[in-house]
Amino acid sequence: MLDLLPAHFCTRWMVLLFWGGVISISASSSGQDTSSSGQKALVVGQKTNETGKSAENLILITVDGLRWQEVFGGADQRLMTKENGVRDVGGLRGKFWRETAEDRRERLLPFFWKTIAASGQIIGDPAKDSMANTTNGFDFSYPGYNEILTGRADPRVSSNSKTYNRNMTFLEWLNQRKNFQGRVAAFCSWDVFPFIINDKRSGIYVNAGWVPIEFGERGEVTALNRFAAESPRVWPNVRMDVFTVDGAIAYLKSRKPKVLYVAVGETDDWAHDGRYDMYLESAYRTDQYIQRIWKTLQSIPQYRDKTTMLLTTDHGRGDGREGWKNHGVIYPGSDRIWVAAIGQGVAPLGNRAGQNVEQSQIAATAVGLLGYDYAPDRPSGKSIDLLQSKPE
């Protein structure tokens, strides 16, 4: 069957077989009640971009449960053991172990460190006296994604159950605006995202879990869906990230959204399964997926030099032999995350020093990059300053 697929699909999908073993809007225009909880729609005003033009398009990417330890330090030598699920210790060390943290992280996440760090910025490295944290007090997925997407923590969001989110996300808020209506979409590996984004109320197209891909070049979509249907489902509610990413790229090419959210999830699930080798391999593949998305953006006139890519994670993880597999308030460090950005409106400040940011600031940052103020009707995180013109 592989000979029927586009060449760039085959390498990644063979791995799966092996596993089988901008407009001005006044405050009055956004005051209507649109949520089941009676929350008012959020207020927007014009924003002045101090360094020039705002982005016309936004790509938000979240990498579920990818620890700051690996992002900033690369592979953890303590966890590259049989006890941590590593099938080939020597092979894994040969691929990912290097003597310095800088070399290790660049080996694990080459695009992240050679391109994003060089042309954009990264926040959350403790070695740089920089911190990024959640504020929701739960430190697992649904509360984290709610905080990322709405701009505030909500104590009522306290489980991962498939319950429609009563809070409005910035995706929904943008989708109500004339310039963005019908041009906001999400591709997600975890099948709870239609509920987090509340696709029924928001009207946002959400493709999540093992749902077939619908948009793109016909032959490519047919091959993609056929292969997904015939691939082993390691987790029933989380599809392999390659299908999420390829579906998102096909959607980018065919539907040309202005805002696209891509949520990948294998890193978290391999960690929960206690497979440090597969956790590292999935982080490495995710870096390649991010590079593919970025290269696709640069190949399309609508997006080239007009788009910002914002990246983060929903939660951190614990540490040590058992702690790294899990997260939550009983695992110290689970509130520690990271944030990265590249593209229009982002100064090339690299691995930033002396920064302290919160997960609740992501929504305002995303909207701010598009040129608007995101001002909810109750306290929430303010936009992260990504526009400083001088290196720190």
- C-alpha dihedral over 100, 103, 107, 112, to 10 degrees? 120
Q: Which two tokens stand for residue 255?
A: 């539907």
Closest by Cα among 347, 352, 344 to 390: 347
Query: Given this model, what pLDDT does residue 10 score?
Result: 44
Query: Given this model, what pLDDT does residue 379 score?
Result: 59
Strands 43-46 and 372-375: antiparallel
The domain ranges of the chain are 2-26+45-375
Query: Given this model, what pLDDT does residue 373 score?
Result: 84
Q: In this structure, how many other beta carbons lie within 10 angstroms of the beta carbon of residue 80?
A: 18
Please identify which residue in the block is written with the tokens 């992280």. 105
Query: Given this model, what pLDDT does residue 381 score?
Result: 82
Query: Given this model, what pLDDT does residue 194 score?
Result: 98
Query: Given this model, what pLDDT does residue 13 score?
Result: 42
Q: For each of the chain's 392 residues, which pLDDT tens digit applies?
A: 333 344 444 444 444 433 333 322 223 233 333 333 333 333 333 343 444 579 999 999 999 999 999 999 999 999 999 999 999 999 999 999 999 999 999 999 999 999 999 999 999 999 999 999 999 999 999 999 999 999 999 999 999 999 999 999 999 999 999 999 999 999 999 999 999 999 999 999 999 999 999 999 999 999 999 999 999 999 999 999 999 999 999 999 999 999 999 999 999 999 999 999 999 999 999 999 999 999 999 999 999 999 999 999 999 999 999 999 999 999 999 999 999 999 999 999 999 999 999 999 999 999 999 998 886 555 568 999 997 644 44
Please identify which residue in the block is written with the tokens 């705002």. 54
What is the CA angle 192-277-15, rounded to 5?
A: 70
Tell me which of 3.40.720.10, 3.40.50.1100, 2.50.20.10, 3.40.30.10 is the CATH number of domain 2-26+45-375: 3.40.720.10
Please identify which residue in the block is written with the tokens 């520690």. 336
> Would the pTM count as exceeding 0.75?
yes
Query: Given this model, what pLDDT does residue 247 score?
Result: 98
Query: Given this model, what pLDDT does residue 282 score?
Result: 98
